[in-house]
Structure 1
Amino acid sequence: MVADEYDAVVVGAGGDGPVTAWKLAEAGLSVLVLEAGPFHGNEQWPAPHEEPGGEASSSVEDLSGDLLDEQFTTREFEMVTNLVFGPADHERGFWFRKFPGDGAILQCAGVGGTTLHYTGCHPRAYPASIDEQGHWPIEYADLVPYYREVEEMCEVAPAPVTAKEELFFRGAEAAGWDLIEDLNVTEPGYRPQPNAIKRPDEKLHVDGDYDGEFTYPDIEGDTLALGNIAGNPHPLGAPFEEKAKRASNVSFVPAALRTGNTTIRPNAFVTDVITEQGLGDVPTATGVEFRDTWSGTTERVDAEVVVLAAGAIETPRLWLNADLPDNGWVGRGLTIHFGDNVMGLWDGDDLDETIGKDTVDQHHGQDIAARLDYPGVGMLQTVGTAPGIGAILGFGASASGFSFLNDPADAPWDTMGRLAGGDLKRLLSDYRRMLQILVVSDDRPHQRNGVSVAPGIADEHGPIPIVNYEPSEGDRRRRDELAAVAAEVLREAGASHVHRSDSPPTALHVHSTMRMGKVVDEACEAYDVDRLFVADHSALANGVGGANPTNTGQALAARTGEEILERHF
């Protein structure tokens, strides 16, 4: 049951909120976590998309690996649909947000948030992005102890190498890049991806001759069966906490529940932050109101401290709809790692000569297992996908229109733009001999970019978020440079055809809309509302240099939990 009052209420059980909840609960505070989406793999909700189920969960004994196996199938389209940003009851449609242009916002609702939909990538920020870009009120060194703590909790390790990573490494080395062996990256180079995915079972290392069922307990850890993007229940049969992908629902949520001080209430969309006027001019947060997404009823919970961890879009939306003070930076400074996709296609004979087999088979191994770091510019990483997602990312959308409209003369790629007809069939028919590189740029925060609300467009939770993003010339220049590097790596690895998507802006990594130093202070407490903290990617002061942000978001959330204890308890 949900009580009327807690020491702390955390809004959002995504990648970061459970980290702060764990820190607070471990110190003995009573913590309520309110999550808008469902709770998969919890016996209180055996059919989370079909019926309301229980009210809340306060025990780690509620978690079931078998139930997660049933609910997290490996059927790609089904899982993408189940994990989109919307209510547990999909008959009610999805929650709408307006993102101009051809781009998209990739985000999930549910306990675990968008870490349910991520590939486990857990690198640290580039130190220069924190210490040299002038955006942060803290230093990189302040985060290092929390990085270590998060990496231990999530069992972060270098990703295993399959053919696609070997090919990428060969191309990067031939192009003149050095191998990186340090977690704190200060110079450009390539390396295995630090992933929050359990290492593969030793049985899978011996000559590739394992012919079992890839199920627990015969196999422990990663099964190298791809499928990390949407859900991922591997290895099947494993207890909830032994699942290979260490998304926050598998790592930090059980840790928070095990304290005995945490209650998680899913299907609870927070619509207002309650404040009281103190002695000075700054109001004090005293609780929240939330709406049950099944019944439509509204409830209120009081708390000594309120922590917003609803994500870089919903946190500023909630703030603005709650009519909290706006200093001009609330919702502003959005960064999305303005990205692109560059694809390489090989002839079978060339592959056989290079890696000893005539296929790349990008669907083998972990989805993203190799990277090239370029501090100050961004990063590249290999992407292993099934054909459907690969076709959408690589060929299905482009800011340049169809490829036949674009002249590739003097460009390092053979084609650019959206492919169709015979060209699309030809490249996709050779899917097993393709390698996709994702370009992730170090886009910088600009006040014009961000989240606003329009009173004229509302859903059941109030005015919807309107997301605006227009990259600067510097952002475009850095992305173009990375695309050229990706093309060179593919060429040096022997690709016979290189295709650049010129992808439209896609909010894959979303951060910096409630920035430290602008909206919240060095402890992530709001400048203009006492006892109101932000503990999600929106508090990041920039895009951490282009590195995948989950590790930094969780490290900062852990630090914020300790700052809350220091200041108010």
Structure 2
Amino acid sequence: MRDVIVVGAGGGGPVVAKELAERGLDVLLLEAGPRHAHPREEWTHYENDANHPLTGFFRFGPADRAKSAWFRETPQSSFVMQLSGVGGTTQHYFANSPRAYPGAFSGYSGPDAGAYDTRHRFPFPYAELVPYYEWVEATLPVQTAAMGTKEEVYFQGCETLGIPVQTALTTTGDSYRPQQNAILQPGGHAGRTADPRLLIFPRSTGCTFCGHCSQGCMQPVRAPRNQFAKRSTDNSYVPMALTADVWSPGGRAAELITDAFVTRIHTEAGAATGVTWRNREFLARKATALLRGAGARTVLRVDMFPVPLHVQSSLRTGLDPRTSVLDADCRSRAVDRLYVADNSALANSLGGPNPTLTTQALAARTAERVFTRVFGGDPWVRTGAPVVSTDLRVSRRLAELGL
């Protein structure tokens, strides 16, 4: 029996997998979509090839692109910019990583307190999440985006309006600031040339300014997977989870299984005990067999695509059981030992910023709660030092594993 089963290798699940594998637990990470283990063989920089909702390699569907995308029913006519595969939507996000506004949390009493979602504040103060922000920011790492001429011109425009510059990571008022991004800074020839002969690792490191963030990051050429510029979880947390035995004393490598669509969470005496997964194509085959059994000569499959960005808060954490599915530890109120660590656990819209960094900080906090409260371990975020996801031990082990 596994110690922990993590369902979904998107923005939050791999954080939990890495943190608990680092502490020596037996972790199984399940992902319904593809692995994309060799992106230079599987991806291109063409937008339609990547993000076409029915045929793109970032569609919501199985690894085999010859098969149909998965059907996703939504209550309204819309397109959900969602995908399957290791890394989840971090594969096509732009890695913007601002922190949530303090007003989105309990205990906030600033002059603008009424401007936030006061009915669904996070069930703990902003200060409690700060160490986990710092932990995740150091692990990914999150860095201030490289500034160019266009940024300087924009900032000059802010200054003419009298808007102050923000120099801290915590937002306390109206201001402008350089963006915090989970993208490695350009090094070597990166950012200084367009010559592809020079944009090869290790002559170039970090962001090469290729401009194709939403088609997945595989730059620089020849870099180990955990040295790719954009710190999507397929490039950061998943490699760390899979190699935890080599970079963490007492760590245990997590196991990743892809094309594993979880269909059921098993419970016993009110506690989660396991899961059942299968490929969704099973359902399509069964449906086809049923229709043919009813006399159909031809069966046509139509996969209508569902796009809101930043789908979140559907299983929100909170203090009031009447308005929240999860308690303050992101633990299910209905099923013991069942924790949620993706965007759905967010209590509210954070005040407006991109949600991934907050999801990952919350996931790190949840992992610590699981380790201390379920397995009797000691907390580590406030006393330990995070290992950066670009650690060379991870790179060497990935090479040994052929990943």
Which band: TM-score by shorter chain? 0.7 to 0.9
In structure 2, C-alpha distance between the alignment counterparts of 1:84 and 1:562, rounded to whole Å: 32
Q: Which residue of 2 aligns with 1:557?
A: 363
8 Å contact kept, 1:72–1:232: no
Which residue identity does 2:27 align to in structure 1? V
Which residue identity does 2:316 align to in structure 1? R
1:307-456 → structure 2 map (5 Å cutoff): none
In structure 2, C-alpha distance between the alignment counterparts of 1:145 and 1:118, rounded to whole Å: 24
Is it true that 1:90 corresponds to 2:65 in the alignment? Answer: yes
1:157-556 → structure 2 map (5 Å cutoff): 157-204=143-190, 208=192, 211=195, 213=197, 214-259=199-244, 260-276=252-268, 278=269, 283-293=270-280, 506-517=307-318, 518-556=324-362
Pair 1:104–1:164, CA change in 2 (3 A): farther
Q: Which has the larger radius of gyration?
A: 1
Q: Which of 90, 95, 114 lines up with 2:89 in the alignment?
A: 114
In structure 1, C-alpha distance between the alignment counterparts of 2:343 and 2:62, rounded to whole Å: 22
In structure 1, C-alpha distance between the alignment counterparts of 2:164 and 2:142, rounded to whole Å: 22
8 Å contact kept, 2:204–2:220: yes
Q: Give CA deviations for 1:259-313 in whole Å, capped at 9, x if unaligned.
A: 233110000000011111x3xxxx111111100356779xxxxxxxxxxxxxxxx
Query: What SS does the corresponding residue of 1:189 show, helix, strand or coil?
Result: coil
Can you give the 5+ residue segments of structure 1 that lack an aligned partner in the other structure? 42-66, 298-463, 468-505
The structure with the greater share of residues assigned to strand is 1
In structure 1, C-alpha distance between the alignment counterparts of 2:338 and 2:30, rounded to whole Å: 15
Query: What SS does the corresponding residue of 1:92 show, helix, strand or coil?
Result: coil
Q: Which residue of 2 aligns with 1:99?
A: 74
8 Å contact kept, 2:6–2:17: yes
Which residue identity does 2:348 align to in structure 1? N
In structure 2, C-alpha distance between the alignment counterparts of 1:82 and 1:164, rounded to whole Å: 32
Query: What SS does the corresponding residue of 2:351 show, helix, strand or coil?
Result: helix
Q: Give CA deviations for 1:456-508 in whole Å, capped at 9, x if unaligned.
A: xxxxxxxx9x99xxxxxxxxxxxxxxxxxxxxxxxxxxxxxxxxxxxxxx511
Which residue identity does 2:222 align to in structure 1? G
What is the deviation of 1:173? 2.4
Q: Which residue of 2 aligns with 1:321?
A: none
Which residue identity does 1:147 align to in structure 2? Y
Question: What is the Cα-based RMSD across aligned positions, in Å?
Answer: 2.3
What is the deviation of 1:255? 1.1
Query: What SS does the corresponding residue of 1:545 show, helix, strand or coil?
Result: coil
8 Å contact kept, 2:190–2:206: no
Q: Give CA deviations for 1:42-86 in whole Å, capped at 9, x if unaligned.
A: xxxxxxxxxxxxxxxxxxxxxxxxx33222321221122101111
In structure 2, C-alpha distance between the alignment counterparts of 1:274 and 1:210, rounded to whole Å: 53
Q: Which residue of 1 aligns with 2:3?
A: 7
Aligned length: 329
Is it true that 1:30 corresponds to 2:26 in the alignment? Answer: yes
- Percent sequence identity is 44
8 Å contact kept, 2:33–2:260: yes
In structure 1, C-alpha distance between the alignment counterparts of 2:171 and 2:188, rounded to whole Å: 29
What is the deviation of 1:210? 6.5
Which residue identity does 1:531 align to in structure 2? R
8 Å contact kept, 1:74–1:232: no
Query: What SS does the corresponding residue of 1:199 show, helix, strand or coil?
Result: coil
Q: Which of 27, 36, 49 lines up with 1:40 in the alignment?
A: 36
Q: Give CA deviations for 1:182-228 in whole Å, capped at 9, x if unaligned.
A: 101111111111000000125356xx567453121211111011111
What is the deviation of 1:252? 0.6
In structure 2, C-alpha distance between the alignment counterparts of 1:288 and 1:103, rounded to whole Å: 31
Stretch of structure 1 that moved more, 183-192 or 287-296: 287-296
In structure 1, C-alpha distance between the alignment counterparts of 2:173 and 2:29, rounded to whole Å: 40
Query: What SS does the corresponding residue of 2:215 show, helix, strand or coil?
Result: coil
Is it true that 1:19 corresponds to 2:15 in the alignment? Answer: yes
In structure 1, C-alpha distance between the alignment counterparts of 2:45 and 2:313, rounded to whole Å: 33
Query: What SS does the corresponding residue of 1:533 show, helix, strand or coil?
Result: coil
Can you give the 5+ residue segments of structure 2 that lack an aligned partner in the other structure? 109-117, 245-251, 285-302, 319-323, 376-403
In structure 1, C-alpha distance between the alignment counterparts of 2:366 and 2:273, rounded to whole Å: 18
In structure 1, C-alpha distance between the alignment counterparts of 2:282 and 2:225, rounded to whole Å: 29
In structure 2, C-alpha distance between the alignment counterparts of 1:85 and 1:139, rounded to whole Å: 35
What is the deviation of 1:160? 1.3
Q: Which residue of 1 aligns with 2:296?
A: none
Query: What SS does the corresponding residue of 2:267 show, helix, strand or coil?
Result: strand
8 Å contact kept, 2:33–2:84: yes
In structure 1, C-alpha distance between the alignment counterparts of 2:76 and 2:281, rounded to whole Å: 32
In structure 2, C-alpha distance between the alignment counterparts of 1:509 and 1:33, rounded to whole Å: 22
What is the deviation of 1:101? 4.9
Q: Which of 78, 90, 93 lines up with 2:49 in the alignment?
A: 78
Q: Give CA deviations for 1:144-171 in whole Å, capped at 9, x if unaligned.
A: 1111111111121111123432333233
What is the deviation of 1:96? 2.1
In structure 2, C-alpha distance between the alignment counterparts of 1:295 and 1:99, rounded to whole Å: 22
Which residue identity does 1:564 align to in structure 2? V
In structure 2, C-alpha distance between the alignment counterparts of 1:284 and 1:209, rounded to whole Å: 56
8 Å contact kept, 1:35–1:269: yes
After TM superposition, the score normalised by the length of structure 1 is 0.55
8 Å contact kept, 1:146–1:559: yes
1:142-161 → structure 2 map (5 Å cutoff): 142-161=128-147
Which residue identity does 2:126 align to in structure 1? Y
What is the deviation of 1:100? 5.0
Which residue identity does 2:25 align to in structure 1? L
Q: Which residue of 2 aligns with 1:568?
A: 374
8 Å contact kept, 2:189–2:203: no
After TM superposition, the score normalised by the length of structure 2 is 0.77
In structure 2, C-alpha distance between the alignment counterparts of 1:34 and 1:181, rounded to whole Å: 40
In structure 2, C-alpha distance between the alignment counterparts of 1:561 and 1:204, rounded to whole Å: 36
In structure 2, C-alpha distance between the alignment counterparts of 1:245 and 1:292, rounded to whole Å: 29
In structure 2, C-alpha distance between the alignment counterparts of 1:242 and 1:286, rounded to whole Å: 36
In structure 1, C-alpha distance between the alignment counterparts of 2:281 and 2:76, rounded to whole Å: 32
